[in-house]
Amino acid sequence: MTVERIDEESPLLTNETNNYTDNIQKRRRTTPTPLPKVQISILMLLQICEPITSQSIYPYINQLISELDITGGDERKVGYYAGLIESLFFVTEAMTVFQWSRASDHIGRKPILLIGLAGSMISMLLFGLSKTFWALVISRCLTGLLNGNIGVMKSTIGDLTDSSNRAEGVSMLPVVWSVGAAIGPLIGGTFARPHERYPKVFTSPFWKTYPYFLPSLIGVSYVFVAFWITVFVFKETIPKKRRSRILSRTSSTDSSSSHNHRDGALPLRNLFTYRVLLSVSNYVALAFLNICFNALLPLFLAMPLDIGGLGLPPSAIGYVMGGYGAATGIFQFFCFAKVNRMLGEKRVFMTGMMVLPGCFAMMPIISLIAQRWGVSAFVWVMIAFTMMLAVIMDMAYGAIFMYITASPPTKAALGATHGLSQTSASISRAIGPALSTSLFSLSVQGNWLGGYAVYAIFGILSVASVLLARRLPDEVWEEEEYDDDHDNNES
């Protein structure tokens, strides 16, 4: 059975150029179905919550680790602990995100989204009140355990769109993520240690005792508003009859029924088709290299010049990362859907992956220039160029998301498929920050390749990821349409 499936799908990897061009032209002529504006808008509000709560810690996490005195005063060891804190979210998320996503297929997207929002608020408040390293560890773990929204939101977009308008819907995800990725670091960099930055306003001893609580509180305030909008306005995207059908057939002992498989009550092993595995593998490669770059960037910006960094303060780091997020959002909003329709998903994804080696190569180049001439205007130009490469790289997320959404064996297995992809990506993102920042510290301490070995390692891995991306078919697979009314008649 497995061999037959691969034989049927493998010709998609060798489409002729004229067929590829015909498909692109056909897609241009298709009139997109109007997007459900209210539902999509609320989902975008929820999407912003993720980067605000997760990335607001990046501008100050290295300073926070230094103040906990667990490094023994050795700045070169900060990377080990900062990477661990950044990875913990993804470690614990990997343990539960598949279960959350699969549960959303059964009980609906909305209840899972609300649980995730509540979990974000609780864990972020605890993070801001943490005074020890282990308190940071516990709060970061809770964030991942209680939050399955990353996979569920992607499944919800799949529910709300079809093949004619998915590019427009997908293009909004990285846009709003980028808005959050711009706001989050700005909040963290601007409002960390408010008793020092705004001494006339924050006069209470509380702010000196808990210097990083304010950015956490600001992030939680946004999530609180989004929670209640979801409660009262957002509508469930999975029809109640379909949820009931999936639940009843999941508990049925007649697992051999092809009708049962069609409606999504698939054994887990049946998700592992060639096209699911190929799509998820490319997503994992992108997520791993991207999180490694995102973990190295603030560490590179924060560390002193003499150990390969730039020695920038948290506020400057917040502005750099906020500008990067804003640029990504603007580019995705105005360009992604048009570029995707013009070039196709594979070429967009390949372009994003091909700039990754350049992203890693730029950091040692900037470091060498700064060590010789200081953090000059030219250094800032080089930083801006690196951020431009990263913006192009971020296009790859929208493209691979479209492959994943089209890959499930049945449409009713969409949540499980996104759960599988997010679990796999979370594992890679759990490894990425700890690995990359530890390699940074090891490279500096051992003077490997002059302290720059970490960038060479990830440059090589980036080239390997391009080879994997080439295996994607030129065209996204045709989705198996799901007709609720037809199935109701069959029942």
Alpha-helical runs (H) found in 58-128: 58-67, 78-107, 109-128
Instruction: Please give the tally of structural domains in the chain.
Output: 1
Asked if residue 44 is part of any domain, the answer here is yes
Give the integer Cα–Cα distance in Å for 248 and 232: 28
- Residue 88's pLDDT is 80
Give the integer Cα–Cα distance in Å for 431 and 52: 22
Q: Which residue has the tokens 């029942």?
A: 491
Q: 37-90: per-residue pLDDT in tens?
A: 899 889 888 888 878 877 788 788 878 888 877 766 677 677 778 777 777 877
Give the integer Cα–Cα distance in Å for 204 and 207: 6
Q: What is the mean pLDDT of residues 284-303?
A: 92
Asked if residue 256 is part of any domain, the answer here is no
- Residue 482's pLDDT is 41
Q: Phi, psi (5° rounding) for residue 108?
A: 110, 155
Of the pLDDT bands very low, low, confident and very high (cuts 50, 70, 90), residue 227 is: very high
CATH number at residue 218: 1.20.1250.20
Q: Does this model's pTM top 0.95?
A: no
Helix (H, G, I), strand (E, B), or coil: what is residue 252?
coil
Asked if residue 380 is part of any domain, the answer here is yes
- Residue 156's pLDDT is 87
Q: 155-188: per-residue pLDDT in tens?
A: 888 788 877 777 677 767 767 777 787 788 889 8
Give the integer Cα–Cα distance in Å for 443 and 239: 54
Give the integer Cα–Cα distance in Å for 14 and 26: 19
Asked if residue 21 is part of any domain, the answer here is no
Asked if residue 84 is part of any domain, the answer here is yes
- Residue 421's pLDDT is 87
Asked if residue 431 is part of any domain, the answer here is yes
Asked if residue 366 is part of any domain, the answer here is yes
For residue 222, give the amino acid letter.
Answer: Y
Rounded to 5, what percent of the chain is helix, strand, coil?
Answer: 80, 0, 20
Q: 248-260: per-residue pLDDT in tens?
A: 554 554 444 444 4
Parent domain of 392:
34-235+270-482
Q: 171-180: per-residue pLDDT in tens?
A: 677 677 777 8
Asked if residue 253 is part of any domain, the answer here is no
